[in-house]
Amino acid sequence: MSIDLILSERFGFRSFRQGQREIIEDVLDGNDVFAMLPTGSGKSICYQLPAYLLEGIVVVVSPLISLMEDQVEQLRRQGEKRVCTFHSGMPYHVRMKILRDLTRYKILYVSPETLQTDTLSGTLSRMKVALFVVDEAHCISQWGHEFRTDYLKLGEVCNRIGRPPILALTATATVNVRNDIIKLLNLDRPEMHIYSVDRPNIAFQSEIAETTNEKMDILIRYVQTLKGPGIIYTSSRMVTETITEALKRNGVEKTAYYHGGMENDDRLLTQKQFIYDELDVICCTNAFGMGINKPDIRFIIHYHFPSNIESYLQEIGRAGRDGEESLALMLYHEDDDFIPERLITAELPTKKDINHFSVMVDVDKPDRTLFEQSITSLNLSETAERFMHFHVEKFFREEERDFQTWKNQLVEFIEKRIKEKRERIRYMKKWILSEECKRESILGAFSEKLVTRPLNCCHVCGLSLEPYKSSKEKSPRPVIKSWEEELAIIFHQVNVDV
C-alpha cells in the first residue's frame, strides 16, 4: 500500500504538507532521522503513518501525560484502536492488561521515566520495536541535564529494546541543541530535515519600562486594547496571580491564571476554558502551553523574559496558528534579570555542596547507600538533588571508579553548564535590547537568513499596531464546525465528565 493511499484512507488528507513525505520515506528506509518542523505543521503523521507499514510497535516518548492522552484520544477518534499509553495515572490492572497485550498495539506513548522501568522495557525488549520516536526532542537538551535526567538515558533504553531506527522531532532547536540531541540519543548519521522557524504572521514589539510599576501599567494598557485571546507569560507563580487581579480590576474580566502549583483539576479546567473561548487572557508560567493547539491566539505578552531563545520561540509560536496576524510583545525592566539568574544557579549544586559531599562519604570505600543519604543531607533544591542522584548512579556504574576524578569532572561540568546557561540568557537579553530587526536576529539564532520581510515585521522595521487592536463593535465570530468536529467535542466532554 502506498503512503499516499494510507494518508487519504487513514488520516483523510489529500496531500502531504511540507517535509512530511521526505521524513516518512527516510523513516521507512530505516534511517535515523532528525526533523525540525514548525509548530502545527503535522509532525505526528511522520510516525503515525509509518506505523501502518512497519513490522512491530512504534514507541513514542512524550514529555507530558496529558499530551499522550490527547494523542491516543485523537487517534481513537479517527478509528484507530491499536494505540495506547502507559503511565502512573492508570489503574494497575489496566496497565497489566496492556503489558500482556502489547504486541497487538501499533503505537505506544510513554514518558521517559516509565520507559526506564524494567516491567516496560523488559516487555519491549522481548518484542519487535519498529521505530523509536522522541517527540518534543528539545526536552532532551533543555530538561535532560538537570530537571528530568531520565531524558539522558533514552539512548541506553533504545539499545535495550533492540535499537530500532530513531526519529527525533522538534519545532525549535538551535544548532547547539540539535548537536546535543544527536549526541545524547546516539543517532547514527541521521537524515536531517530542517525547516524555517519563521512565522511571518507574528509581529514583534518590545517596550522597555523604567520601573516595575510602569511595566504593569504598560501591560494593562496593551491588554485593554489588544484583540484576544492572548497569553501573558511570567517567571513567577505569584506574579501570574497578581497580574490576573490587576487585569480584573482594570476591566479585563475574562482572565485567569495558570501555573504548576495549582491542583490538577483546576489546571485542566482553566485550560479548557481558554480553549473554548470562555477566557480572553491567561496569565501563566512556562507550565502552560505545550500541546495547546488553539488556532486563534492573537497575542503573546512576555512580562518576564524566558531564559533562552528557543523557549521564547516555543512560547510565541503558540500565536497565530490559523495564519492570521498576531503579536508577540516583550516587556522588559532591568530588575527582571535577577530571576533567570537565580533559577539557573538553584538547579545545580554549588562547588561548596560538592565539597561537603566528599567529606561526608568514604572516598576510599564508596558505599552506594551512604552516597545517596549524603545527597539528602545537602539540602539541595529538588532539581539539584536529581542531578546529584543521576551522577552518583553514573559513578557506581563505572568499573574502575576513582572518586577524585569523578568529583573534579562533576565540578567542571557544573561550571560549564552554568556558563552555557548564562550565555543563553545573555543572548536572550541581547535580542531584547538590540536595535536590529527582531525577526532577522531571531532567525540568526537558528542559523537562518530572512528571505522575505512581512509588511508588519517588528517595531524596529516599523510596525502599525492597528491590526492587533480589538474593534469597538464586536461582531460575533461565526462558528462553523463540521458535524464530525461537533461530535468529537461532545464525546470529549462526555469522557471528561465520567
Determine which residue in the list 381, 444, 469, 492 makes contact with DNA, applying CB under 7 A: 381
Nearest alpha carbon to residue 289 among 265, 262, 313: 313
Distance of CA 298 to the CA centre of its chain: 20
Rounded Cα–Cα distance for residues 52 and 47 (Å): 9
Tell me whether residue 346 or residue 370 sits nearer to DNA (CB atom): 346
Contact between 350 and DNA (CB under 7 A)? no
Cis amide leading into 366 (omega within 30): no
Of positions 286, 296, 324, 407, contacts DNA by CB under 7 A: 286
CB of 140 to DNA, least distance (A): 13
Question: To which residue does cell 509560536 refer?
Answer: 317
Task: Tell whether residue 172 is a contact of DNA (CB under 7 A).
Answer: no
Contact status: 335 vs DNA (CB under 7 A): yes
Single out the residue of 41, 18, 30 nearest to residue 191, CA to CA: 30
Interaction between residue 349 and DNA (CB under 7 A): no
Strands 107-110 and 83-85 come out as parallel
CA distance 260 to 89: 17
Exposed / middle / buried, residue 237 (Cβ in 10 Å: 0-12, 13-18, 19+): middle
Q: Which of 82, 87, 160, 469 binds DNA (CB under 7 A)?
A: 87
Nearest distance from residue 198's CB to DNA, in Å?
Answer: 25
Query: What single-letter DSSP state applies at residue 476?
Result: P
Name the 3-class secondary structure at 5. Answer: helix
Nearer residue to DNA within complex by CB, 194 or 290: 290
Instruction: Name which position in 130, 161, 344, 437 contacts DNA (CB under 7 A).
Output: 344
What's the angle, vertex CA 88, arms to CA 233 and CA 43, rounded to 5? Answer: 55
Question: What is the rounded CA–CA span in Å between residue 423 and residue 120?
Answer: 39
Q: Does 339 bind DNA (CB under 7 A)?
A: yes
Binding piece for DNA, criterion CB under 7 A, among 40-48, 97-105, 258-266, 423-431: 258-266
User: Alpha carbon 12 to chain centroid distance?
Assistant: 27
Binding segment (CB under 7 A) for DNA, from list 81-89, 190-198, 323-331, 410-418? 81-89
Residue with cell 526533523: 35
- The contact pattern for DNA, residues 192-221, with x = CB under 7 A and - = no contact, is -------------------xx---------
Binding mask 421-460 for DNA (x = CB under 7 A): ----------------------------------------
* 3 state DSSP class of 469: strand
Least separation in angstroms between residue 303's CB and DNA is 12
Q: Considering beta carbons, is residue 121 or 326 the nearer one to DNA?
A: 121
Report the distance separating Cα 350 and Cα 333, nearest Å. 28
Nine-digit cell string for 148: 528530568
Tell which residue, 164, 207, 152, has the closest CA to residue 188: 164
Sign of torsion, CA 89 91 94 98? Answer: positive
Closer to DNA at the Cβ: 242 or 358? 242
Residue 362 phi, psi dihedral angles, 5° rounding: -90, 105
Among positions 290-309, residues that touch DNA (CB under 7 A) are: 307
d(CA 79, CA 487): 14
With contacts defined by CB under 7 A, name the span among 43-51, 257-265, 293-301, 441-449 that binds DNA.
Answer: 257-265
- x/- binding map, residues 135-164, to DNA, per CB under 7 A? -------xx--xxx----------------
Q: Which of 198, 310, 315, 347 binds DNA (CB under 7 A)?
A: 347
Q: Judged by CB under 7 A, which of 48, 71, 111, 244 binds DNA?
A: 111
According to DSSP, the β-strands at 129-134 and 57-61 are parallel
Task: Name which of 270 and 285 has its Cβ closer to DNA.
Answer: 285
Nearer to DNA, 99 or 339 (CB): 339
Site for DNA, rule CB under 7 A = 63-66, 87-89, 111, 113-114, 117, 142-143, 146-148, 211-212, 235-239, 259-261, 284-287, 307, 335, 338-339, 342-344, 346-347, 381-383, 386
